[in-house]
Structure 1
Amino acid sequence: MFPQLDEIHTLVRKTAREFVEKRVEPNARRIDQGWYPKELLREMGELGLLAPHAPPEYGGPGLDFRSMVIVVEELAKASPALATVTEVQGSMIVYDLIHYASGELKEKWLEPAIRGEKIIAFALSEPCCGSDAFSLETTAERVGGSWVINGTKLWITSGLYADAFLVAARTGSPKEKHKTVTLFLVERGRCVETAPVAVMGVRGTGTAEVKFNNCEVGDEAIVGGLNGAFKVVLEDLNNGRTCVGAIGLGIAQGAIKEAESYTKRRVAFDMPIINFQVVQHYIASIKAQIEAVRGVVYTAAYFRDKNSELFPLYAQIAKYLGSRLAVDATRTAMQIMGGFGYSTDSKVEMLYRDAKATEIYEGANEIVLNTLFKLAEKYG
């Protein structure tokens, strides 16, 4: 049905959808109540769903970024939290290990990360610096033949349960901002302290504050070269923002499906409320938006696979429109369902809380719009 996709993507969606129906939907509420789905991540790894683009020589299925996006979309229909953990592990961490890690890091971490046997958190944001990420204060100082890392990270997905952390740290003068930031892979150990961060939505993602206290690593732990974090992080954010667009797309589909099903059962004024024109208009409007955003998200992923210079532009559009759709669709679904939609027994209530996060993480939408404005100016 979609010109950006091939037959292989139909098979990927079928596999992902079956996994969601059998394993994710029965556990979605458990995840929302704070259960970190490590066993589901391992099962996804075995099925090739955690990092579909990973090459066969490292235990991956050797597919493409479009497959990654489709998996995230299907997961988000049932559990945006699991979709979020997956997009960080697959589209960012595994991507970085494949393209920028040393041979030693690849040998130790890449295949376990692809298979879901090891979880690696992306540690960029800090109490001081979220949107202004490259004003970060975490430092890595050269001491003898090692690097000693100190600092605090915040809002770190999987932080509570990660086996290692990809840490952005200052390796030069703060005045040079993005030019003196380096990524290091730091294994969990006594030098790492974590504390849970309670969040409104996407619960069960192990969101944490993470402190690094004199963590010592060697040169082999550097990912992307000394002072090379800026390029890697930009690629990560573009990958992640495309996936957030897919998460928003999945949330919208999950919410409107739930609402439409409800309207066929709910009777008012002697008829199912699906017969009311206003309800039909609500549903039709969201479905139209879903199709529009689907085209943008798949196009962004297609441009990533084709190494097109238009990918960064479409990554911002996908994130912005996908996240807005998620919030609008869940709000509309809740309005259709009325009191039951507002109840904590409702799936839509959970999706509504989760939807808000998509406007904030992987770059607040205001920052995304800043970038989008510049890129739109460039490509006219």
Structure 2
Amino acid sequence: MSLLTQEHELVRKTARDFAEKYVGPIARRMDRENYYPRDILRDAGKLGILTPTVPPEYGGGGGDLRSVVVILEELGRVSGGFSLLVEAYGVLFADALKNFGSAGQKEEVLPKVAAGEKIGAFALSEPCCGSDAAAIQTRAERRGGEWVINGAKMWITNGLYADYYLVAARTGPREARHKAITVFLLRRSSCVEASPIEVMGVRGTGTAELKFNDCSVGEDEIVGELNGGWRVLMHTLDVGRVAISGVALGIARGAFEEALAWARSRELFGKRLVEFQNAQFELAEMLASIETARALTYYAAYLYDVGSPEFLLMSHVAKLQAARLAVDVTRRAVQMEGGYGYSKESKAEMFYRDAKILEIGEGTNEVMKYVIYKLLEKSS
């Protein structure tokens, strides 16, 4: 049974053509200069690639999670940074607002974000708390008829340039943990202080530290329900874990394709590198890893699209394995290219650095294994 339809393959072609025409020429600039490709986002918006699941009436692609995965795979094959940027933009922000925002929030924000005119960011992680999201310290307190937000967020993709933030804030005692968290839609203003963070890979993604200084929002800017933010966050991250698996798949493909081309053209000891059995075995291992990640990622996305209760488990399995396999494939690609692979001229070197965040962001490998075991216990 094919997990993808003809429509998904048409989406793939659109994403691939876009990646090669628009993203390819600026991929190395993003990496070397930490360049944020604002104009390319507008081009992506015209094709619905930027917000794949947002309904067409808001300017989005109107697709399902398999469409998201296919798009991110094709973007990641050219640039891990651009693919991750779109994943955080289109899934963690736009899809979350589509699923949990009010009619007014969606009507105001989604068309601008889908078009790439305004940028959205998902603000959850904090200096104190990455894996333990229930321990966040950013607070929102009622003052008169408004909520006032104070606190700091860390590692926020698109955060440096965002016009809108989905901010997770504590709206009750710290002891209440996840039961006292609310998500707010916050517009960029002078109360938001954004500082760039230099990262190892996936550069050009506008990664930032954010500080909120008496940021005021109205009651109508709550996304979901008061003290019901945990549901918004967990659903969004579960979907995001499959989406970022698509990023992983693309990064692995990009590194593999360069390594294969290198092996076919590189000569040593009077033979092409690809004629040596060890090179053949390495390429076979890399391809097997990519196909394993592909099967898991597509299957997890399919389970979400059909509303299967198995989705939750498989979203974590796919994220764990796709991330690990991407790191391994890119490592093998660098090794195959030898000294060239260790140089900044090699795309494999860039993909290798890009891949590492996949084992950390949106749930570390350790968190994935913890959740998988908890779900195992629950089902037995």
TM-score, normalised to structure 2, is: 0.98
**What is the distance in 2 between the residues matched to 1:78 and 1:297?**
19
| 1:48-68 CA distance string (max 9 Å, x none) | 111222212222232211101
Instruction: Output aligned runs, 1:13-92, within 5 Å.
Output: 13-33=12-32, 34-92=34-92
| Aligned amino acid, residue 3 of structure 1 | S
Q: Is the 8 A contact 2:65 2:243 kept in 1?
A: no
1:97 Cα shift?
1.5
What is the distance in 1 between the residues matched to 2:40 and 2:313?
33
- Which residues of structure 2 form unaligned runs of 5+? none
Indicate the SS of the match to 1:167: strand
Q: State the partner residue of 1:104.
A: 104
Q: Is the 8 A contact 2:333 2:341 kept in 1?
A: yes
The answer for the alignment partner of 2:5 in structure 1 is: 6
Q: Give 1:319 deviation, angstroms.
A: 0.7
| Contact in 2 for aligned 1:169/1:183 (Cα 8 Å) | yes
Residues 142, 148 of structure 1: 8 Å contact kept: yes
Structure 2 counterpart of 1:104, one-letter code = G
> How much has 1:377 moved relative to structure 2?
3.5
How far does residue 378 in structure 1 lie from its aligned partner after superposition? Answer: 3.6
Question: Could you tell me which amino acid in structure 1 is paired with residue 133 of structure 2?
Answer: A
Show the 5 A alignment for 1:136-175: 136-175=136-175
Off by >6 Å, runs of 4+ in structure 1: none
Q: How far, CA to CA, are the matches of 1:314 and 1:116 in structure 2?
A: 31
1:234-249 alignment, distance < 5 Å: 234-249=234-249
Paired residues in the alignment total 379
Q: Which amino acid aligns with 2:278?
A: V
Deviations 1:27-69 (A, max 9, x none): 1001112110121111111001112222122222322111011
In structure 1, list runs of 5 or more residues that go unmatched.
none
Q: Percent identity?
A: 50
Q: What's 1:209 paired with?
A: 209
Which amino acid counterpart does residue 22 of structure 1 have in structure 2? K
Amino acid in structure 2 at the alignment position of 1:154 = M
Measured against aligned partners, the alpha-carbon deviations of 1:209-268 in whole angstroms (never above 9, x if no partner) come to 100000001011110110111111111111111112111111111101101100111100
What is the alpha-carbon distance in structure 2 between the residues aligned to residue 211 and residue 154 of structure 1? 9
Give the superposition deviation at 1:101: 1.1
Quote the offset at 1:198 in angstroms. Answer: 1.0
* Map of 1:323 onto structure 2: 323
- Partner of residue 229, structure 1: 229
SS at match of 2:26: helix
1:131 alignment partner, SS class = coil
Deviations 1:144-175 (A, max 9, x none): 00000000101111111001111000000110
Q: Relative to structure 1, is the Cα distance of residues 25 and 140 closer, same or farther in structure 2, using a 3 angstrom cutoff? A: same
| Distance in 1 (alpha carbons) for counterparts of 2:264 and 2:292 | 25
C-alpha distance 167-179 of structure 1, shift in aligned 2 (>3 A): same
Would the aligned equivalents of 1:96 and 1:223 in 2 still touch at CA under 8 Å? no
- After superposition, give the CA deviation of every residue in 1:129-158 in whole Å (9 maximum; x if it has no partner): 000111011000000000000001011111
Write the deviation string for residues 293-343 of structure 1: whole angstroms up to 9, x where unpaired: 111100111111111111111110111111101110011001111000000
SS at match of 1:358: helix
Give, in whole Å, the separation in 1 of the partners of 2:250 and 2:195: 30
Q: Check the 8 A contact 2:197/2:208 in 1, yes or no.
A: yes
Counterpart in the other structure of 2:364: 364
Please name the residue that 2:308 is paired with. 308
How far residue 355 of structure 1 moved from its aligned partner, in angstroms, is 0.5
Q: TM-score scaled to structure 1, two decimals?
A: 0.98
Residue type matched to 2:245 in 1? G
Q: CA deviation at 1:197?
A: 0.8
How far apart are the structure 1 equivalents of 2:345 and 2:194? 31
The 8 Å contact of residues 58 and 110 in structure 1, kept in 2 or not, is answered as yes
Q: Give, as a single letter, the amino acid of the residue that structure 2 aligns with 1:56.
A: P
Q: Distance in 2 between matches of 1:213 and 1:242?
A: 34
How far is the alpha carbon of 1:379 from its aligned partner?
4.3
